[in-house]
Chains A and B, each alone.
Chain A
Amino acid sequence: MSNIIYMDNAATTKVATEVLNEMLPYFTEQYGNPSSIYSLGSSAAKAVSTAREQIALSLNAKSTEIYFTAGGTESDNWAIKGTAEAYQDKGKHIITSAIEHHGILKTFAYLAETGYSVSYIPVDEAGIIKIDELEKAIRPETILISVCFANNEIGTIQPIREIGELARKNGIIFHSDAVQAFGQIPIDVDEYMIDMLSISAHKIHGPKGVGGLYIRTGIKIKPFIHGGSQERGRRAGTGNVPGIVGFGKACALAMANLPEKSRKLISLRDYLIEQINGEIPHCRLNGDSERRLPNNVNFSFRFIEGESLLIMLDMKGIAASSGSACTSGSLDPSHVLLAIGLPHEIAHGSLRLTLSMENTREEIDAVVKAVKEIVLKLRNMSPLYEDYINKK
């Protein structure tokens, strides 16, 4: 698979060489179970605790507040179900936004089926949650607010501190899914008044199958996976030691020179946005231009179907996406794009390009050229475009 241009880093990233090298000994030489008493096990335990410290440091949390899971979606499920159950005596009202990842939305839907009352807070056209609506939705029996730190499709960064303040003031637990934001922008759980935070390794050049949940000291949460007393009795199951080691390393790498890397990514991102805006008519940038993840670009192109665009990009060796892919790999109109007010047919014609530090300007030029050609070709075959031209 040479000559691939990979611009789907919000879906997953390549494991960094340094991360892989750090992980390798824990498959072979250091294969002990961290719960064992002999020294082979304790060196694994030590590696896990180093990783825990690396992650805690990056969030300004204590290492005892970091729990390893099998990924961001498990973290989301655990945070929400575990606190909803633990605090149900206080109330059964929970709040989230309309543009969450499915890991959140489907968990809320599940709780709604089991007797919880759920409020979905709308967002504005840039995808920013309406704080006044959030405030209005709060009731005495509200126990949990969960809002994504930054959206996975359109990259919009939420006013997390304001939400945290609102939650704290009202004695409500605040959870944030930071799977996309973590490692790209600084996150300080104290400053933002976050009580629980979901993160994932494979979005930051770490391995797949490892995630984490930050749980503030004092927050009650029911275990999600029952069994042994790993993770301080809260998440059973022998830890994925090589994965956790990789996660810690990936986190440390991401945090090193973060401001400088952000600046570089933002300049690549803005160049890509500028090129598309300049080269392709009838397009719109989805999401906010300022409050946006450094690596996220999301455009809608009128008169075309995103599915055809992505298939044709793939044929040219360009890996892109149109937002969240469903099980089969086929595309539904994005609930996020519908929530920011895009009509159904435009939500169908969207393209998400997400960058990493490995992408170059040359690659961006090649992608813009390909997108331009394909969009032109698809429009030439589109009855909607023909109608539009005839009306003009």
Chain B
Amino acid sequence: MNKNKKVVVGMSGGVDSSVAAFLLKKAGYDVIGVTMQIWQDGQQTADNGGCCGLKAADDARRVAEALDIPYYVMNFKDEFKKNVIDYFVAEYLCGRTPNPCIACNRYVKWDSLLNRSLSIGADYIATGHYARVRTTEHGRLAVSKSATAAKDQTYALYNLTQYQLGHTLMPIGDYAKEEVRQIAVAENLPVADKPDSQEICFIPDDDYAKFIAQTAETSGLKLPPQGNFVTKDGEVLGVHKGITHYTVGQRKGLMLSMGRRVFVTEIRPGTDEVVLGESEDVFSSSLKCNQLNFMGMADLKAPRNVVAKVRYAHQGGEAVIERIGEDKILCTFMNPVRAITPGQAAVFYDGDYVLGGGTIM
């Protein structure tokens, strides 16, 4: 039944996407390997640019040769710059902490790559994500957690549309990480060892503040000035380096000696203040989010019990969500949650599948 169905597999040369390509070929699809070129001119990420560096292209080409599938590198530099890097910097300048992987998935992988793949005659795109696409009892498409409890990459995929999901295959979602490795070994795939990192691929040294400062300068954007560390009651505690250096929940690198552990509890872009507080001040029991995407649920008319995740590594907490505006949801947790951070996503689950989500305000 998969005969003559064409699928473009996003390949990094790593084990996950290589096995994805292998499984699809075995299932009878007409498989085309593609690496997305997203690294920018003069960027020194050739060796370690995550899924899409120059080395990824070399590695992926080798795997494609072993699998005997056609392979191409497609250029998405402009799309990545606009939708991911510029967005990332703009969010930080506004005092928020964005998740660039979500933006990359929604606007680069599942928009630019999908469209170009469809244009060359493909029916689907596929990735090596640990997630599955399933149809709910109400006929909606939703990403659901993979067979591996330890690996769940659904959080960064909550923002996909029904159309995008309809053209998506995630073949390794049915396997445990160890099984995927075993398949690669058994099939003798020349996969490259890639660190399983969740760092940001376009900032190889992880110095976000420096990257933001450099990018802002070349784009002619104004960098937020130094400001005050304050308590929630407004008492000034010291001077900070500018709000782009901080994120909610942060404890290290504040360069303050308070004689006790303090945490960033809030960033106030209007006044350039960074609010510090005690450990318990970092917890809150509700959040509001906007820029909503509905996935497993078509809409939210009445309050609903969900499990909500507020960042990639969050285990999720039981909560009630309700619509409080055309593009706004209030999410109230049963138990307070640590470091709810504006700019990150709130993703809502029913069991193992994603109902939808939004950007934390």
Q: Are B118 and A332 in contact (CB under 8 A)?
A: no
Nearest CB in chain B to that of A327: its residue: B54
Query: A305-B116, A330-B57 provided; 12 other pairs, C-beta below 8 A?
Result: A311-B120, A312-B120, A315-B70, A328-B35, A328-B37, A328-B54, A328-B73, A329-B57, A330-B37, A330-B74, A381-B115, A382-B119
Taking the complex as formed, is B194 at the interface, i.e. its CB lies under 8 A from any CB of chain A? no
Q: Are B57 and A308 in contact (CB under 8 A)?
A: no
Nearest CB in chain A to that of B39: its residue: A328
A288-325: which have CB < 8 Å to B? Answer: 305, 307-308, 311-312, 314-315
The main secondary structure of chain B at its interface with chain A is mixed
A332 interface neighbour in B54, B57, B77, B121, Cβ under 8 Å: B77
Taking the complex as formed, is B75 at the interface, i.e. its CB lies under 8 A from any CB of chain A? yes
B158-195: which have CB < 8 Å to A? Answer: none
Taking the complex as formed, is A236 at the interface, i.e. its CB lies under 8 A from any CB of chain B? no
Q: Are B116 and A307 in contact (CB under 8 A)?
A: yes
Q: Are B72 and A311 in contact (CB under 8 A)?
A: yes
Q: Are B120 and A329 in contact (CB under 8 A)?
A: no
Taking the complex as formed, is A331 at the interface, i.e. its CB lies under 8 A from any CB of chain B? yes
Bound CA span A332–B38, Å:
11
Q: What is the total number of residues of chain A having a CB less than 8 Å from a CB of chain B?
A: 17
Q: A307-B74, A307-B75, A311-B72 are in contact. Are A328 and B120 (CB under 8 A)?
A: no
Q: Are A381 and B118 in contact (CB under 8 A)?
A: yes
A349-392: which have CB < 8 Å to B? Answer: 377-378, 381-382
Bound CA span A52–B35, Å:
44
User: Which 4 pairs between the two chains have the least Cβ-Cβ distance?
Assistant: A330-B73, A330-B75, A330-B37, A328-B73
- Min CB–CB distance B59 → chain A (angstroms): 12
- Would you list 27 pairs from A and B whose C-beta atoms are within 8 A, ordered by A residue? A305-B119, A307-B74, A307-B75, A307-B116, A308-B116, A311-B72, A312-B120, A312-B121, A314-B70, A315-B121, A327-B54, A328-B37, A328-B57, A329-B57, A329-B72, A329-B73, A330-B37, A330-B72, A330-B73, A330-B75, A331-B75, A332-B75, A377-B119, A381-B115, A381-B118, A381-B119, A382-B119
- Min CB–CB distance A355 → chain B (angstroms): 24
Count of chain A to chain B residue pairs whose CB atoms are closer than 8 Å in the complex: 41
* B interface with A by C-beta (< 8 Å): 35, 37, 54, 57, 70, 72-75, 77, 115-116, 118-121
Which B residues touch A311, using CB under 8 A? Answer: 72, 120
- Min CB–CB distance B250 → chain A (angstroms): 37
Bound CA span A54–B57, Å:
41
Which of B72, B75, B115 counts the most A-chain CB atoms under 10 A from its CB? B75
- Min CB–CB distance A324 → chain B (angstroms): 13
- Min CB–CB distance A170 → chain B (angstroms): 34
B119 interface neighbour in A314, A328, A330, A378, Cβ under 8 Å: A378
Nearest CB in chain A to that of B36: its residue: A330
Bound CA span A212–B119, Å:
43
Nearest CB in chain A to that of B61: its residue: A329
Which of A305, A311, A327, A381 counts the most B-chain CB atoms under 10 A from its CB? A311
Nearest CB in chain B to that of A382: its residue: B119
- Min CB–CB distance B352 → chain A (angstroms): 35
Q: A328-B37, A328-B73, A329-B72 are in contact. Are A308 and B120 (CB under 8 A)?
A: yes
- Min CB–CB distance B150 → chain A (angstroms): 33
Which A residues touch B116, using CB under 8 A? Answer: 305, 307-308
- Min CB–CB distance B248 → chain A (angstroms): 38
- Min CB–CB distance A228 → chain B (angstroms): 33
Which B residues touch A331, using CB under 8 A? Answer: 75
